Amino acid sequence: MSATTFGSGIRRREDPRLITGSAKYTDDISLPGTLHAAMLRSPYAHARIESIDSSAAEAANGVVAVFTHQDTEGEIAPAPCAWLLPNSGLSIADYHCIAKDAVRYVGDIVAVVVAETRSQAYDALDLIEVDYEPLDAVVAPKQAATDGAPQLHAEIEGNQAFHWTVTGGGDIDEAFAGADIVLKETIVQQRLIPNAMEPRAALASYTTATGELTLWNTTQNPHIVRFLCSLVNGIPEDRLRVIAPEVGGGFGSKIAVYPADFITVFCSKKLGAPVKWAESRSENYQATTHGRDHVQEIEVAATKDGKIVGLRATVWAGMGAYLSTAAPGIPTILHGLMLSGVYDIPAIHEDVYGIYTNTTPVEAYRGAGRPEATFMVERLVDLLAAEIGLDPADVRRRNFIPRFDDGHDVVTGLTYDSGDYDAALTKLLNKAGYEGLRAEQAAARDGGRYIGLGLSTYVEICGLGPSQVAGAIGFQGGLWESAILRFHPSGKVQVMIGASPHGQGEETTFAQIVAGELGVSPDDVKVIHGDTDKTPMGWGTYGSRTTAVGGAALALAARKIREKATIIAAHLLEASVDDMDYEDGKFFVKGAPGEAKTIQDIALMANVAWDLPEGVEAGLEATSFYDPPNFVFPYGAHLAVVEVDAETGQVTLKRYVAVDDCGPQINPVIVEGQVHGGIVQGVGQALWEEGVYDEDGQLLTGSMLDYALPRADTLPDIEVHSTVTPSPHHPLGVKGIGEAGTIASTAAVYNAVIDALQPLGVKGVNMPLTPERVWRAIQDAQGRN
Amino acid sequence: MKIPVSITVNGRHYDRDVEPRLLLVHFIRDVLGLTGTKVGCDTSQCGSCTVLVDGVTAKSCTCLAVQADGSSVTTIEGLAGEGGLHQLQESFWDQHGLQCGFCTPGMIMASHELLRCNSDPTDEQIRHGLEGNLCRCTGYQNIVRAVRDAAGAAEGGTQ
């Protein structure tokens, strides 16, 4: 591999269009004659629809059509749930794209208006008369699971969507019965609102004469959108083209295919005209999926020396009113199987209850299940450290899985690929000056200041994943990726790839992979993605899988090109293939690098095909499909340093130091950017963010005015370091990095705040750790309430 | 009822009749087709719609088109000069100050104002100056680096 390309922090190739305003996101695209759709959404969290009168809206200026459920009967199937979790009693409620007889969350769609302009469509929404019969609502998952709670779906008893368990290792009851120490904690993983900066949108254009439809959509996975639209809207998959143009962040919220997308497609098909729908931010808060929303009752069993012998948990996971596309797999497969963390834990048991509530559906949100697992484990380790009076770093070391290079089985059934957890922690403590910080903390306490240090040592599962496993765990798709790599006659390269990045910079890192494999300049590699008519199949960008799986497919395609190029070069140099050598884009007879053929020479010859070896096809192009043999497991160690003002409860994040190991880094600048952004999102959960409903199911945090997002002035610079442990089974050795920061940082910051408050006797506070909550916890602990 | 407005955008003069309720951002995006300016919220929190009105930043979602009558507006599309990218654009590119790019036009315009008011800001002043613009991807750190880089480049002549 060329040292100047793979592994180099070159500037991103996608940036020129983004910094000049010339990039086109879905809502930036308009077609001649485009009509505009607006969704009428339920103002009630739970109500029967008695009647709808849309006559005034239909007569309004510019209105082309109003559709309610009965207009779509037989033409739009319910929005599908595509992760059919096995052995869990999964009960899927029909998610009608336009509500049938009842609404079940504030934001459920009741009608759609299509008009000539967007403002006409929104004006007409106010003219639709809906007679609702309000019903009791329930918003908290544990409460919704109790007897007597309001029931969302008549056919589903106890609001229970599923009950999933993981049991591994030795007998869990014995482990707890025989333990020196048993510690319990209840954790509320509050509901979060993803807040991709670009709200969701869809532009559908149907051609009646051909039955073909093109959909521009804010999605992380256009091929999945195509597949599900064909099922829901009844348009054959070959007549559907889905384009994810520029997509302004997703963080999981653009995985699902939503009712509004299917409705927009329906409207275009029905009206034979392009129809565009674009949500407002308030609509995004109500109707684009949320994340987390767990209540976790957890306990750890340990010896008095701090060795963990068992971990047991019961989790109530709020799923919202309906099951979103991938929702059932998030609090189960991606959560429960990760409960061993970086530790050797001999017995683990978890029950997860997925519960319907009168809230916006909950889906993947950056980290998706792993932050919720990491937080549980990292809290328990810190509780154990406090109980036995050891430093949290020491307790971690007593439980770490020792270094392994080629596979380690944990009791939940996963095989981690490679790791050296102690090395990451050691590097972190050295870089941070941990001992000095502990001394500073002690001195500050003597002076009446409350500084806290919080560790989080994590491992995560990503690079999803072997398709055989996907089938076994009920994921209704494959998890492989494919790439086509084509050389033009001039030696320039075109890559068509199924993965669909939306901010992660893979137009650059993919070009660097090709450059590293074939010795071309990254500037000579054009990467095309996000268009189902131009690219081969891809299963989407989520679960930190795009570089890990798509990148591997691309590397393998490049290696096929190199094989063919070697054959052609040998022919042109009148040598045997076995005698050929390759270095940095040049093919030559061993020992004679002066007489080399460049990859560009060979691309030209392959394309003109004047002189090819017998039996070799013209052209220089390769397609590959990569289905990974296992997941990849990045890991790391993070430290947060906070100061708490005991008078006001204000938490200040003073320092944040991260050591992450995602294997070899294709572009370290991009890796660092992913780490920064990931950490800040996790800090947001610890300190500021919470999606709040009142008991009637009204979303109180209904706009950016009410939901506290991280801002530039509330954060310190993050200190980013790394270790490099290749994945043994990956063609490039790389692991994922998109979610690592978020998975680690919430626990690090939380542990730091509790550490700071330890002299005040505060044991726990529910997130987010707002000044009010911290202040109240201090008052309670001091007996001043 | 429509009201005539006369607005110069990126040096080009436009006379249009607009609804009184039309926001400046929709005038820019929908009437003129300049879609570089983004709408990321509906409460003036995110700053994605930041433009310059007579050289001073404004959140164009909080301003009616009729209020901008007679003004000269600069959007992200008008920032680069004949000599190429504006220094802020170069610096955002060099310092990896963007990921998905959606907040970037507003972030660059807000940074423009920040440097106009203080040509040599500290990191803290940069962070404070950008508190009205939200980014969900970068954690802001490389945006701060980019603004610092642009300030340094301006001070030291061309980079």
Q: What digits encode the pLDDT tens for the residues A769-785?
A: 999 999 999 999 998 76
A305 interfaces chain B, CB cutoff of 8 Å: no
- For CA atoms A67, A70, A72, A76, the dihedral sign is positive
Residues A99, A108 contacting (CB under 8 angstroms):
yes
pLDDT at B158: 42
Identify the residue whose tokens are 């922690």. Answer: A425
User: Distance (Å, rounded) from C-alpha A483 to C-alpha A486?
Assistant: 10
Pick from B35, B39, B139: which is nearest to A24 by CB? Answer: B35
Average pLDDT over residues A24-34: 98
Q: Tell if the CB–CB gap between B143 and A712 is shorter than 8 Å.
A: yes
Residues A616, A567 contacting (CB under 8 angstroms):
yes
Identify the residue whose tokens are 């390759």. Answer: A582
Query: Using a CB-CB distance cutoff of 8 angstroms, which residues of chain A are in contact with residue B142?
Result: 673, 676
Cα A220 from chain centroid (whole Å): 10
Concatenating the DSSP letter of every residue in A695-751 gives: TT--BSS-STTTS----GGG-PPEEEEE-----TTSTT-----TTHHHHHHHHHHHH
User: Distance (Å, rounded) from C-alpha A476 to C-alpha A457?
Assistant: 32
Question: Quick check: A98 pLDDT over 90?
Answer: yes
Q: What digits encode the pLDDT tens for the residues A111-120?
A: 999 999 999 9
Look at residue A87 and give its three-state secondary structure: coil
Query: Which of A666, A636, A635, A640 is CA-nearest to residue A718?
Result: A640
* Residue-averaged pLDDT of chain B: 96
Question: Quick check: A242 pLDDT over 70?
Answer: yes
- For residue A559, give the amino acid letter: R
Concatenating the DSSP letter of every residue in A510-571 gives: HHHHHHHHH---GGGEEEE-SBTTTS--B--S-TT-IIIIIHHHHHHHHHHHHHHHHHHHHH
pLDDT band at B155; cut points 50, 70, 90:
confident
Residues A498, A533 contacting (CB under 8 angstroms):
no
* Residue-averaged pLDDT of chain A: 97
Look at residue A299 and give its three-state secondary structure: strand
User: Distance (Å, rounded) from C-alpha A150 to C-alpha A143?
Assistant: 10
Residues A417, A729 contacting (CB under 8 angstroms):
yes
Question: Quick check: B125 pLDDT over 50?
Answer: yes
User: Distance (Å, rounded) from C-alpha A421 to C-alpha A459?
Assistant: 9
Question: Quick check: A648 pLDDT over 80?
Answer: yes
In sequence order, the β-bridge partners of residue A83 are: A475
User: Distance (Å, rounded) from C-alpha A493 to C-alpha A496?
Assistant: 10
Q: Tell if the CB–CB gap between A712 and B131 is shorter than 8 Å.
A: yes
Question: Quick check: A697 pLDDT over 80?
Answer: yes
Average pLDDT over residues B24-31: 98
pLDDT at A785: 60
| Cα distances (angstroms) measured from residue A311 to each of A344, A511, A592 | 11, 44, 62
Query: Using a CB-CB distance cutoff of 8 angstroms, which residues of chain A are in contact with residue B127?
Result: 712-713, 715
Q: Tell if the CB–CB gap between A15 and B92 is shorter than 8 Å.
A: yes
Residues A528, A494 contacting (CB under 8 angstroms):
yes
Query: Which of A81, A101, A76, A107 is CA-nearest to residue A92?
Result: A81
Q: What digits encode the pLDDT tens for the residues A206-234?
A: 999 999 999 999 999 999 999 999 999 99
Tell me how far apart the terminal alpha carbons of chain B are, to the nearest angstrom. Answer: 51
Residue A543: which region, alpha, beta or left (left: phi > 0; alpha: psi -120 to 50)?
left
- Kindly report the three-state secondary structure assignment for every residue of A451-508: EEEEEEEEECCECCCCHHHHHHCCECCCCCEEEEEEECCCCCEEEEECCCCCCCCHHH
pLDDT band at A386; cut points 50, 70, 90:
very high
Q: What digits encode the pLDDT tens for the residues A574-617?
A: 999 999 999 999 999 999 999 999 999 999 999 999 999 999 99
Q: What digits encode the pLDDT tens for the residues B114-123?
A: 999 999 999 9
Average pLDDT over residues B62-90: 96
A27 interfaces chain B, CB cutoff of 8 Å: yes
Pick from B102, B123, B140: which is nearest to A25 by CB? Answer: B102
pLDDT band at B82; cut points 50, 70, 90:
confident
pLDDT at A5: 86
Cα A551 from chain centroid (whole Å): 17
Q: Tell if the CB–CB gap between B136 and A196 is shorter than 8 Å.
A: yes
A712 interfaces chain B, CB cutoff of 8 Å: yes
- Treating both helix axes as pointing N-terminal to C-terminal, what angle do B104-117 and B87-94 enclose, rounded to 10 degrees? 120
Query: Which of A13, A5, A11, A10 is CA-nearest to residue A517?
Result: A5
User: Distance (Å, rounded) from C-alpha A254 to C-alpha A289?
Assistant: 8
Q: Tell if the CB–CB gap between B94 and A11 is shorter than 8 Å.
A: yes
Q: Tell if the CB–CB gap between A677 and B136 is shorter than 8 Å.
A: yes
For chain A, positions 643-672, list CB contacts with chain B under 8 A. Answer: 669-670, 672
Average pLDDT over residues A466-475: 97
Question: Quick check: A2 pLDDT over 90?
Answer: no
Q: Tell if the CB–CB gap between B98 and A15 is shorter than 8 Å.
A: yes
Question: Quick check: A1 pLDDT over 80?
Answer: no
Distance of residue A542 Cα from the nearest chain B Cα, in angstroms? 15
Question: Quick check: B159 pLDDT over 70?
Answer: no
Selected residue of A19, A254, A703 to mutate for chain B interface (largest B Cβ count, 10 A)? A19
Q: What are phi and psi of B9, to 5 degrees?
A: -125, 125
Pick from B77, B104, B139: which is nearest to A18 by CB? Answer: B104
Q: What digits encode the pLDDT tens for the residues A259-285?
A: 999 999 999 999 999 999 999 999 999
pLDDT at A784: 77
Strand A201-207 to A212-217 pairing: antiparallel
For chain A, positions 244-283, list CB contacts with chain B under 8 A. Answer: 246-249, 251, 280-282
Q: What digits encode the pLDDT tens for the residues A725-770?
A: 999 999 999 999 999 999 999 999 999 999 999 999 998 899 999 9
Q: Tell if the CB–CB gap between B144 and A23 is shorter than 8 Å.
A: no
Average pLDDT over residues A636-640: 98
Pick from A21, A504, A677: which is nearest to B105 by CB? Answer: A21
- For residue A770, give the amino acid letter: T
User: Distance (Å, rounded) from C-alpha A610 to C-alpha A211?
Assistant: 43
Q: What digits encode the pLDDT tens for the residues B30-51?
A: 999 999 999 999 999 999 999 9
pTM score, whole prediction: 0.97
Average pLDDT over residues A690-715: 97
Query: Using a CB-CB distance cutoff of 8 angstroms, which residues of chain A are in contact with residue B128?
Result: 712-713
User: Distance (Å, rounded) from C-alpha A736 to C-alpha A675?
Assistant: 11
Question: Quick check: B156 pLDDT over 90?
Answer: no
In sequence order, the β-bridge partners of residue A57 are: none
Q: Tell if the CB–CB gap between B42 and A281 is shorter than 8 Å.
A: yes
Give the neighbor-by-neighbor strand order of the sheet with A109-115: A63-67, A109-115, A35-41, A275-278, A201-207, A212-217, A240-243
Query: Which of A252, A248, A320, A255 is CA-nearest to residue A278?
Result: A248
Distance of residue A675 Cα from the nearest chain B Cα, in angstroms? 9
